[in-house]
A and B are shown apart, each in its own frame.
Chain A
Amino acid sequence: GIQVEQSPPDLILQEGANSTLRCNFSDSVNNLQWFHQNPWGQLINLFYIPSGTKQNGRLSATTVATERYSLLYISSSQTTDSGVYFCAVERNQGGKLIFGQGTELSVKP
């Protein structure tokens, strides 16, 4: 099956810093999503981005499908950005998402 690897596993930032999270996947996919899991455990959908680039405020994401990776950029980080960021991919399996292990981000004031 498809393997999804995220890096780095952990990241500590000072408030205001920028960061880049990476997601590598081992096969072609028809869906890629980035999620933020907040301290209450909720999975917040950040981007649906099987290819191309999208931006939403301080966050942006780029997926290069031909090279099988996606990047999530966080600019001017805030303490509320803390949590775990997951990348998940789908490959024509009835809605089955394969999740990476996540990047745990901690933003210090």
Chain B
Amino acid sequence: EAQVTQNPRYLITVTGKKLTVTCSQNMNHEYMSWYRQDPGLGLRQIYYSMNVEVTDKGDVPEGYKVSRKEKRNFPLILESPSPNQTSLYFCASSSPSLNQPQHFGDGTRLSIL
């Protein structure tokens, strides 16, 4: 089954404690992205990757890091989380071929206390 898998689904942690949210896709997609969703602000792109070892900033990259060492994986790293990073996070993947929708993971709810 084609899917994008995020882990964990839920996490409550404290300010400053480094965390990683993993994302894996099994569709051999070149493109992967991270979004965050906040009330009143909608979904905004954090980082994206167009292929292995190619990453770039989205609209709200501050406080986040990403890496793309393998095509299937695109982890989101919060080196020193702060309360303003409390949010619902989504990973997505797609192929640059025409007529291909983007596939989203189930989301990760992060609470930074």
Residues of A within 8 A of B (CB): 30-31, 33, 35, 41-43, 45, 48, 86, 88, 90, 94-97, 99-102
B92 touching A97, Cβ below 8 Å: yes
**Chain B facing A: main interface SS:** strand
**Chain A facing B: main interface SS:** strand
Residue from the list B31, B93, B109 in contact with A41, Cβ < 8 A: B109
Contacts of B104 in A (CB 8 A): 35, 43, 45
B56 within 8 Å of A by Cβ?
yes
Contacts of A35 in B (CB 8 A): 104
Sorting the interface of chain B by its residue count into under 10, 10 to 19, 20 to 34 or 35 or more gives 20 to 34
Contacts of A43 in B (CB 8 A): 90, 104, 107
- B37 smallest CB distance to A (angstroms): 8
A96 touching B107, Cβ below 8 Å: no
| Residue in B closest to A32 when the chains form the complex, CB atoms | B101
B43 touching A95, Cβ below 8 Å: no
B20 within 8 Å of A by Cβ?
no
Mask, B30-61, CB within 8 Å of A = 1, is 01110100000011010011100000101000
